[in-house]
Chains A and B, each alone.
Chain A
Amino acid sequence: MKIAIPLITIAAAVLSAALHPALATDEPYLQKRAAMVRDQIEREGVSDPRVLAAMRDVPRHLFVSPSFRAKAYEPYPLPIGEGQTISQPYIVGFMTQILRLKETDRVLEVGTGSGYQAAVAAKLAAEVYSVEILESLAVRSRQTLSDLGFRNVIVRQGDGYYGWEEKAPFDAIIVTCAGGHVPPPLLRQLGNGGRMIMPVGGPFMTQNLVFIEKDTGGSITHRNVLPVAFVRLLGH
């Protein structure tokens, strides 16, 4: 009986671990994830070791529907429902690197989507506040992040255009859904010295990225930034 109790406890722990979605399904994907970081991200110019480590840690396949898990580490965006997509790994790495996130940073994400970008940012920053306009995606991403143990990410359903006034100012803002303009409320909520990145284009169609900085005096500068593929196309 004395032996039986620890055995049952161990068995329960093993069973519990096996049934946990993250642990249960991560093992077959470890190699894929390492290959993704090596071949799609590091090789293509993302060099920040913290970003690379974060992307090696976050199980991307758990942020997509089961039918797309086998393709989660492929170099393209995937549908997550509601007409939204999870960005391809390279874009996530590129956008995260350019924000130069620090461990003390407070980050705002507009457009939680699958929650994957928030998870990567949460590995690098102190707090991530994420706003998703679609209720179903907000619920699903909140659940996924909670299951994976991300305690420093808060997801709220709402119109991200207005940011998260109560939590401002932010050290960095990631707008993951493409927009036609930079929302003035977000510029106001970006703290002095803050950085912001926003893609231009629709789902599957990212055309450009605009990077905005607010200096310590509150002045705003912006520039278009091109991923490596574009720069290569331009012959630079």
Chain B
Amino acid sequence: MSIAAPRDRGDLVFAEAKAERVVPAVFFLSAATLANEIVLIRLLSFRFWPHFVPLIVSQAMLGFGGAGVALQIFRRRVERSPGRLFAWMVLLAALAFDLAFRASQLVSFDPFLLLWDPLAWPRFGGFFFLLAVPFFLSGGAMAIPFAFLRRRPGPVYAASFAGSAAGALVALPFLMLAPTGWLLRLPLALGAVACAFVLSDKGEGSRKGRAAALCAVLFLLVIPPADLKLSPYKDLAAVRNLPGAREIASRFGISGDYRAVFAPGVHSAPGLSVRFAGEIPMQATLFADGEQRGTVPKDGGRMPPAYLGYFPAVLPYRLFEHPRVLQLGLRGTEGVLTAAANFASSVTIVEPAQELVRLVREDLSEFSGGWPGSLPVEIREEGARNFLARDRRIFDVIEAADISSATFSSLGVHATGETFLLTREGIRAALVRLGEGGLLAFSGWLKAPPRENVKILRTIRAELSAARLAPAADRIAAIHGWGTFSVVVRRTPFQPAEIDRVRRFCSDYGYSMVWPAEGAGAGGGAEERALREAVSDAMTGAPGERGTELFDLSPVTDDSPYFHRFLRLRTLPEFKRLLGSQWIPFVEWGIVFLVLSLGVSLVLAAMLLLLPAAFARDGTGEAATISVAGYFSALGLAYMLVELTFLKAGILVLGDTIRAAGLAIGGFSFFSGIGSAVSGRWESERAMKRVFAGIAVCVVAGFVILSAAASPLLARGWAMRTAAFVATLAPAAFLMGIPFPAAISRLAAVGGSAIPFAWAVNGFFSVAASAS
């Protein structure tokens, strides 16, 4: 089967005489598409929650895959005028970057209702579909040149990769330059540039239409962006809704959208002892991507508020007088003020989000009264693991506060997020920075049934045992108030007098000591007994996983750094039963969304991929063979899996998820683009075998080197870590850019009718890989 020659003159011109315009159009459209993906991740994290990230990846790849299927099915019609269709898909994609998001905000979609309201699903489907539209259009536009315009696939695919790399690298600084609501300007602007390359064509009517479309794109660029509609259940939306609420400061950047809101109705003191009878001063609430991140008491820097002495998390200050404190994470000014109120001698804060640091230190200094004058305060803007590896100073108290919130970590929203600080290796890195008698402290919300507190205790115990600091139980103390817990650990055993101080602290403030165990007479109801049993088991029971537990509470390591992942598949039926009968004790929303994304993606992919076969009678689907499907699905799966494997290692080394994602996507795209550009030399079967062998070697070697070098790299500067990360992925990425265009060339050589189908398969299975 051969490709029919382009029929109209315009297409001839476009495909041959003006062919040089296709490659830049693909480049800019790819850049716009990748930028759209990145900014959508931020926008949906802000509007909803971070678990929408896999959803965006699914939408992108389903859009691409769907476009391939559509081109395959309508191949005969597309062949009549591929240049014109290419131009219109570029133009409509540019428009869709903005309009699809505006339309998606009109869909009244409540993620919480998905669990029990069937009517919520059509709305979710509409929301999902609308955001997939720009990816469908851009995916279709990118497939047309090598499927229908007789372009050699190498340069077009290279332009696509290079555009993706450029899109990723441009999107990162743009996150620092543009307010969150304006982020879609980037894909829109890049799309407008792509449109400029498809304007010149023969046929007056057509040219007018295209010009009108470009004018519409430019019009969207100059009008104000759509107001971001937050889910009403986001913390920021709830506080904004309070009478008298006003935003007093905001910052935005790569790591997030940060806002400070003052509302008289906010009185935040999570876990405050019921023994506190005083007043909570006015506060500003800090939000990171719409979720509460901390508080700033008004004028707290001038006089630390008294209530800050009434939390279980104050325990380490009762055991160590005038400590040198290291706080991992900035929680407004409350962390510093707590240290000041409890007579710390100095505070060092490690916080990777520069924007948050500036918001608190500069923008809110008048409201907060600055830092307490008597307390030396230093802020280091880097990842906690990087700081622990690099800085040689010794501290008396190291605090990792708020390892669980009252709501979201319990819902598993963070189940898919890496937490390298809460791993055995992270605990090891912190313990070595402690001085004589120094304490490592963790605090968070109590959950029923117990989760985070038990998991951190097991992780600590595993690390202490491995370091031959046994028995671990003698080096740990754990207490809880009515809502929160605090765990302290150190390298040397606690003395009886120190345990007495813990006991006295609990007695004075109305807390309970759960470790060391208080014996049979400790009292409490079923809930208290359950907590004590769980803690006791974590401290003295057999190490390792319990087959009978509802949750995964096994120790966390860098290999699988998902502290907040509690879901066990075999206990799903029990949770499902509870959802239907009582309330929501526990839902791993992050995992649920991953599974949903994977399930929906696979079902849609299977259905769509079967469609061409349905058209086999007229010859349209005969190219959709199992061998094509097998080859390109393997390529899609492999590419995404390798990219994600490097990304996970990159998050540890670079200390920041967004930068690691940008570099991984950008780096892979850039080097794969080079591979695609030179793929014409590697199309023979023999050469391809060498390429695949090279990929296997480079992937394994790159990952092994990166993993082995992670510890020493953590102590190095940003430039060195970035260079090392990119260097380890570059060889594999280069070689992985070759197989797709090489195979497309081979398909083209035998007629090319299967090329759109190959594009679709590749897109779909990239989804499955990214979701799994």
Contact = CB atoms under 8 A, between A and B. Distances in A.
B482 A230 contact: no
B274 interface: yes
A208 B528 CA distance: 12
Contacts of B238: 83
B407 A205 contact: yes
Contact of A233 (B116, B242, B269, B449): B449
Contacts, number: 160
A71 B278 CA distance: 43
A181 interface: yes
Given A135-B243, A228-B582, A184 B276 contact: yes
A187 B274 contact: yes
Interface string B11-39: 00000000000000000000000000000
Interface in B459-516: 482-483, 510
Contact of B279 (A71, A159, A184, A203): A184
B312 to A, nearest CB: 12
A205 B405 CA distance: 11
How extensive is the interface on chain A, given as a class? 35 or more
B448 A230 contact: yes
Interface stretch (A13-21, A73-81, A99-107, A114-122): A73-81
A236 interface: yes
B227 interface: no
A81 B447 CA distance: 27
A182 B448 CA distance: 19
B550 A233 contact: yes
A226 B526 contact: yes
A222 interface: yes
B150 interface: no
A192 interface: no
B406 A202 contact: yes
Contact of B277 (A133, A188, A230): A188
Given A133-B242, A200-B445, A208-B447, A90 B274 contact: no
Interface in A196-219: 200-208, 210, 212
Contacts of A183: 267
A231 interface: yes
A234 B530 contact: yes
B645 interface: no
B265 A133 contact: yes
Nearest to B551: A233
Contact of B406 (A71, A182, A200, A233): A200
B74 interface: no
A124 B280 CA distance: 34
B406 A207 contact: yes
A139 B186 CA distance: 44
Contacts of A133: 242-243, 265
A93 to B, nearest CB: 11
A182 B272 contact: yes
A114 B113 CA distance: 18
A155 interface: no
Interface string B523-539: 01111111000000000
Contact of A83 (B233, B482, B526): B233
Interface string A63-85: 00000000100111101011100
A38 to B, nearest CB: 13
A180 B524 contact: no
A36 B237 CA distance: 32
A82 B241 contact: yes
B582 A44 contact: yes
B527 A226 contact: yes
A227 B579 CA distance: 14
A172 interface: no
Contact of A91 (B275, B524, B580, B583): B583
Contact of B583 (A83, A206, A224): A206
B354 interface: no
A213 to B, nearest CB: 11
B583 A76 contact: yes
Contacts of A159: 264-265
B526 A223 contact: no
A75 B581 contact: yes
Contacts of A88: 582-583
B60 interface: no
Nearest to B523: A223
B528 A178 contact: no
A168 interface: no
A225 interface: yes
B520 to A, nearest CB: 16
A79 B276 CA distance: 34
A208 to B, nearest CB: 5
B446 interface: yes
25 contacts: A71-B117, A79-B112, A82-B241, A88-B583, A133-B243, A133-B265, A134-B243, A135-B243, A180-B272, A180-B406, A181-B268, A181-B271, A181-B483, A201-B406, A201-B407, A220-B274, A222-B510, A225-B525, A226-B527, A229-B581, A229-B582, A230-B449, A233-B550, A233-B578, A234-B526
Given A83-B237, A180-B270, 14 more contacts: A44-B581, A44-B582, A182-B272, A184-B276, A184-B279, A205-B410, A206-B584, A207-B410, A222-B274, A224-B446, A229-B582, A230-B449, A230-B585, A233-B448
Interface of B: 110, 112-113, 115-117, 231-234, 237-238, 241-243, 264-265, 267-272, 274-280, 406-407, 410-411, 445-449, 482-483, 510, 524-530, 550, 574, 578-585
